[in-house]
Each structure stands twice: as structure tokens, then as C-alpha cells.
Structure 1
């Protein structure tokens, strides 16, 4: 395992030299914190005292923030409204060092906001403000031109879809074509609406649940799991399909499947940002000349950073230093098994 640990360190030490373009749905995460005081006389609800609030980049913006925290330069492409929420989001991204010159503002769109309300440190309610309508054709053309202008500056493109309207079949196909023709790596992280449009990405990342739902293939046992994974590998014409659930992650490559067991610690997979963490580390590893297997192992290993501070936001815990610490402490605990399939 010492050799593997050294290899992992070599890969993550290449992160600061990488340039990444993230294209997808951005949103503003609004956290409202309160302490319960009594039950209301007006209705059977809690009356709470406001203790504070904060705004953070969400969706593809959170992914871009994580990539920046790992030391890479990142360009973020998306569309937001011309409103107060977009101004707050853009300022937060610029503070993180994310290049926002590819984010377009449109008065016809509403910036997506997720309002998470906490009472006594527990999430009590989430209120979403969004209008996920399709992109105006003129905005899409503007977006494609901007991406074309930047494509030679990057090492890898990540498509991060949240079904909020930024991505559509035409845009997805065009940017994948542009990137592949320019010799750039492409990683796709689809949501349900446009899942089947992510054809020809180098690697496709998804939860097992969403992949099963998108392809209409139930996973009841190992045989049906393999059918799903290899069907996706062929259908998306990809080099690798990386799927995960709460117990295991699965890497499908031509003629083989690798089962990667999660490490033995309490892992809150529902924690905000876990999917972005996996996508960030997997993608940067690929850009750093990792094999698909090395990228998947590093992505699985990166979840260890959550255990360093369960009470903090994941984007605050993530850093090159903490990822290196996870490699040093937990590489020897990695359990994985690659099986060749005819």
C-alpha cells in the first residue's frame, strides 16, 4: 500500500497545475440558524429565535468552489438571473477565487436559491426558489461561444446538471464535441432530465439510484447491477462509469468491474456536497494523469475528510492538506476488488 499511497500523493500534488471548466446549474445556498423557544399559540409549530444566517455557493458553484479549495484554477459557466441573489452568489464565488467571466446574467431568469432552515442545529425545513425554464437560444449561443474561447485554456470539462435549466441536449452535445475535438477530458455528472444526453463523456458519475431510474433498469442483485453498468458503458460510449450508494462504489470499465468498499467510519452521505466532493476529486485525478481506477479510489478515499469535522460545511473541511492527510491515514484501509467480465 505504500506504493499506492505515494502514487496518490503524486496525483494530488498535480492539482494546483490544472485548469478546469465547470458547466452547469449554479444556485445560492442560504442557511438560516435558530434556537427553539416555545410552541406557537397560532398553530402547532415551533417559535424560534433567529441566531444567524449565511450564503454559500451551491450546485455547480459548490463543485467549482471545492475544485478551487484543492488548488486548481477553475472557470465556471452558467446562467443566473439579474437579481440580488445572483450578486450575492457572484461575490461569494469571486471571494473563493473562482473565475466567473463565463456566468451570464439574464433578466428573464430567476437565480435558484435553496433556503435551509435549522432549528437547534437540525435542519427543519428547506424552501426552494427556482424557475427551471429552458435556456433562450441566444443565451445558449453566447454560452457556446464563451466556452469555445476558453476551451484551449483548460485540462478538463465537468458537466454538472441539477435539472434547473442551464443544460439541455443541444448544449451538452455541442460542448462535449468541442472538448473532445480539442483533446480535452470530459466528466459528466447528470441529473434525471438529461441523463441520456451525456454521450461520449470520458467518465460518467452518478448515484446508483439515479442511474437505475434514468435507464429504467432495476438493481435487485449483483447480476442486475452489472447489467446496468455495462449497459451504460456501451450506451454512453464512455471509458468509465463510476456509481455509488451508501455501502459501495462501483467502477465499470471495458471488460471489468471494480467494487470499492466505503471505509469504516460514520459517513453521512446525505451531507450537503458529498456528490460534489466525489466529482471534484475524481475529475482532478483524471486531469492529473490518473487511471480511471486510481481516480475512483481517490474519490472514495476523499470522503474520509468528512470525518475530520462532522459539524462543518464540507467545502470548509476540504483542502489539499486534508486530502493528503486522508491518503496518509487511510490508504491502507482501502478494500477493493476488480473482476474481469467476458
Structure 2
């Protein structure tokens, strides 16, 4: 099976990232705030949608499964999926807002302000049942090479949904790759590959963790996460920690001037999935994930990578 034929199902919180670009004219005459003259606006997929865009850039075949509100942002997400070649199955939930991040930036994408519109509540039982039904239909109709859960604590990834997906992955013997947030952190570690960043790992433990191999290893042991998982802990410019059974280490990072970290975790998650379905070992996966992280933070705003960025 070629890379382009490998289907990756992406389940999680999808969002719209809007950039309002302007020319910085100085301070406003009305208040002690910056004044920008708007020059353009651009909309991009964020969250699970950004994972899907990155998978497409890696010549994989992503299928996006998520929930949006009955609003302009939700319908724009569907439109972007269509013209980006992303096969998407998005349930409309009339009771919630689509997660929409609006950033005001200058031409260099330096941020002046971010405004978020979103809901945090878990999906209703009715919407969750529809999501599970769609999930099962996709599992039956498509040859899924791997499943990704991208959790941003926006309500799509409930405890019930996690257990449901984990059980189906075990039954079908499909790799499960997870990027967790604070909710259900330990439960989500019951997977094939688990990718928190250092801050998320520290929050789960309740104290700061040093970006050092022994400190991270001790944190994983103390949290009693699923020992069967492969672990990838991103360390910003310090690199990436990896662990599989007794094999662990750190791939050191790259210094990037004025990095834009928006969506970098989505990129690394997609690259880990690429490595797993391509049969790479944990060292090779960590190396290309680290390279991808450096490449994507060199770009402006939420942006994808492609194979040329990592090889």
C-alpha cells in the first residue's frame, strides 16, 4: 500500500483559526492600545483539522471526524476541508459554538490580540451517539491504517468516547495515536503512541518537570501511565523525549529565531502517525518529528509541513 492510500482517521476538536492582518500605525488616539489598519484576512483549519492538513502534506489520506456548531465558522471549516482535499464528516450540534480563534497580527504575524469563541461542555449523549455511529461506519467502510485522537478539552473527546475508541482499536488491531490535554490524561495514555508536551505532562503531575531524561522518566513512572505506549514528549526548543519499553532518550532541538508555535503540536502528532504507518522505529520517528517541529515554528501562523520539510 502506497503512502497516499494509507487512511488516517482523525477524531477530535476541530477549530477555525482566523488571522486579521493589518499595518501597525502606532497607538490608538482613543486608548492606550495599538492601532492597525486591516489589510487582509485569512482562515485556516486548527486543532484536529490542522492535523488532517499536515497528514495531507505528508502524502497520507486523512479522514476528519468531528463536531461543529450551526454557525458561520462551522460551515467555513467544511468549505476549507473541501477545497483542501480533506474528506470530512462533521456533525452539526445546534447547541454549541464552533471553536473560533481570531488573531490580530501585523504583516510579520506578530500577535497583538487573540479572541476565542468556544464551548467547553462535553457533547450531549445524542450528539456523542451520532459521533460513535459515524466512527463505526468509517471503520467498516474504510481500511483505516491508524486513528488519531486530538484532544483540546473542547468537549468532543469525552471519557465515554475515549473508552469506545480504545476498545474498537484493540478489536480491529489499529494503532491509536493520542495528543492529550489535562482532562482524562491517564485514560488517554492507553494507546499506541502518546504525545503530550512538557507543560501538559507537568500539569498532569501537578509540578514542574525539567526538560531532562531522568526528570521526564520519573514523571511518567509517578503518573502510572500505560507502560505499553510509546511516549513522545515535546520540549519546545529543547527537542523531543522518546520512550519505548526500556529504550528512552532525547533528540536535541533546533534554535529557531522568533518561533511561531501555533499548531506545532498538531504537526508533530501528524508526523508521528506518518512514522508509525511507514514502519519507522522510535528513533527515526523522533528525529523526523523533531525536524518537523523546527520547520513548522519557522512558518507564520498555523501552518502544515510536507515531506520536503522533514527529509
1:279-319 deviation per Cα after TM superposition (whole angstroms, max 9, x unaligned): 11111110112223322222112235348xx4545635x22
Root-mean-square deviation (CA, aligned residues, Å) is: 2.1
What is the deviation of 1:37? Answer: 2.3
Partner of 1:288: 278
- Cα distance, 1:187 vs. partner? 0.5
Residue of structure 2 in register with 1:235 after alignment: 225
CA distance in 2, matches of 1:98, 1:91: 10
> Are 1:51 and 2:42 matched, yes or no?
no
Pick one of 99, 111, 114 that aligns with 2:98: 111
Structure 1 residues 270, 228: closer, same or farther in 2, change over 3 A?
Answer: farther
**2:288 is equivalent to residue 298 of structure 1:** yes
- Are 2:240 and 1:249 aligned? yes
Distance 1:183 1:217 in 2: 35
Per the alignment, residue 202 of structure 1 pairs with 192
- TM-score by length of structure 1 reads 0.83
Of 135, 139, 144 in structure 2, the residue corresponding to residue 151 of structure 1 is 139
Q: Is it true that 1:215 corresponds to 2:205 in the alignment?
A: yes
1:173 Cα deviation after fit: 1.0
Question: Post-superposition shift, 1:44?
Answer: 1.5
The structure number with the bigger radius of gyration is 1
Asked if the contact 2:296–2:303 (Cα under 8 Å) also holds between the matched residues in 1, the reply is no
Gaps of 5+ in 1: 1-12, 328-342
1:119-162: CA deviations, max 9, x gaps? 35321010001111110101111111111111252110000000
User: Counterpart in 1 of 2:24?
Assistant: 36
Q: Contact between 1:229 and 1:241, CA under 8 Å: does it hold in 2?
A: no
Task: Give the number of equivalent residue pairs.
Answer: 306
1:82 and 1:157 map into 2 onto residues whose CA distance is 26
**Residue 192 of structure 1 aligns to a residue in which SS?**
coil
Distance in 1 separating the partners of 2:47 and 2:296: 18
How far, CA to CA, are the matches of 2:44 and 2:113 in structure 1? 17
Alpha-carbon offset, residue 270 of structure 1: 4.3
TM-score between the two structures when normalised by the length of structure 2: 0.91
